């Protein structure tokens, strides 16, 4: 990637780690935190701590408390609701995900969407070939990049998808990342026709993603299963076969989910 291109997704982990450190400061005895306490916890200047805090406020993970300081924001409630809903899904999905991971020797992800937030709720890895990148349980993914996120947008009403994309910060992670809303809407239409999504170096320059939708007993898309593979290992002639395996796994998970009324 050229020197003028944006840093890759996984190169931003230090900031994410700081944000997680701040969120982990909250417990039953500390429902409000101060900027000075954050500065002390992180070992940074107070001005630096406030930059991290304001970033969390702008993304609704935190909000300013009425009496001063900061408290958890509405987005944390959204994640909590998503986590509660995902437990049953993970139990249903992981066996099929593990089989797929062992079959293709790549990382397999399970993702869900809550509003403008896409969350990795589980993953499966097989052997030493699996891609070991920042797609861990609980990590959030952007709306405009990555096969999973695009699949999760493709089957919601088009006006809702457009509204979400127009309101989101569409960041460019690699030269291949799509940031134009009209182009993304065309991409979503193509995904609906194909039944699955393929992204090539759009979130991380070295990774190809293939994702398919998981449906509940009412045929609503409630999650996505995807393979994240090193692009150098996914040759064009093998891509269709990989997509078929992901589709088969998504159908297996959907069938099991429907059987339990999920």
For domain 9-72, give its CATH number from 3.40.50.1820, 1.10.10.10, 3.40.605.10, 2.60.40.10.
1.10.10.10
Give the Cα separation of 80 and 171 in Å (integer): 25
Contact status, residue 32 vs residue 70, Cβ threshold 8 Å: yes
Domain with CATH 1.10.10.10 in the chain: 9-72
Note the pLDDT tens digit of each residue in 124-144. 987 655 555 556 677 788 899
- Report the pLDDT value the prediction gives residue 8, as an integer from 0 to 100: 53
Instruction: Compute the half-sphere exposure of residue 136: CA atoms within 13 Å on the CB side of its CA.
Output: 7
- Report the pLDDT value the prediction gives residue 127, as an integer from 0 to 100: 66
- Report the pLDDT value the prediction gives residue 131, as an integer from 0 to 100: 55
Domain 77-259 CATH superfamily: GAF domain (3.30.450.40)
Residues of the chain with pLDDT under 70: 1-13, 84-87, 127-136, 261-262
Query: What do you get for the CA distance between the two ends of the chain, in Å?
Result: 43
Give the Cα separation of 199 and 208 in Å (integer): 6
- Report the pLDDT value the prediction gives residue 5, as an integer from 0 to 100: 45
Domain with CATH 3.30.450.40 in the chain: 77-259
- Report the pLDDT value the prediction gives residue 41, as an integer from 0 to 100: 92
Distance (Å) of CA 82 to CA 75, 130, 170, 172: 10, 26, 23, 26
- Report the pLDDT value the prediction gives residue 1, as an integer from 0 to 100: 41
Contact status, residue 102 vs residue 95, Cβ threshold 8 Å: no
- Specify the residue for token string 């089957």: 155
pTM for this predicted structure: 0.70
- Report the pLDDT value the prediction gives residue 257, as an integer from 0 to 100: 86
- Report the pLDDT value the prediction gives residue 11, as an integer from 0 to 100: 47
């Amino acid at each position: 990637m050229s020197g003028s291109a944006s840093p890759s997704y996984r190169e931003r982990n230090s900031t994410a780690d700081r944000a997680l450190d701040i969120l982990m400061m909250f417990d039953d005895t500390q429902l409000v935190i101060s900027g000075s306490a954050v500065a002390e916890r992180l070992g940074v200047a107070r001005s630096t701590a406030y930059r991290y805090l304001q970033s969390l406020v702008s993304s609704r993970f935190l909000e300013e408390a009425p009496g001063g300081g900061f408290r958890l924001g509405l987005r944390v409630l959204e994640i909590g609701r998503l986590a509660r809903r995902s437990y049953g899904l993970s139990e249903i999905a992981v066996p099929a995900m593990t089989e797929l991971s062992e079959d293709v020797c790549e990382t397999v992800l399970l993702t869900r969407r809550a509003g403008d937030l896409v969350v990795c709720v589980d993953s499966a890895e097989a052997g030493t070939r699996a891609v070991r990148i920042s797609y861990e349980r609980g990590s959030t993914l952007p709306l405009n990049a990555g096969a999973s996120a695009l699949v999760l947008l493709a089957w919601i009403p088009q006006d809702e998808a457009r509204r979400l994309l127009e309101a989101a910060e569409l960041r460019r992670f690699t030269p291949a990342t799509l940031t134009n809303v009209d182009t993304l809407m065309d991409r979503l239409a193509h995904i609906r026709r194909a039944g699955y999504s393929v992204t090539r170096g759009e979130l991380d320059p070295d990774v190809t993603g293939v994702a398919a939708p998981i449906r509940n007993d009412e045929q609503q898309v409630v999650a996505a299963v995807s393979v994240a593979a090193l692009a150098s290992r996914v040759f064009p002639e093998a891509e269709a076969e990989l997509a078929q395996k992901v589709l088969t796994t998504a159908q297996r998970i959907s069938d099991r989910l429907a059987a339990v009324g999920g």
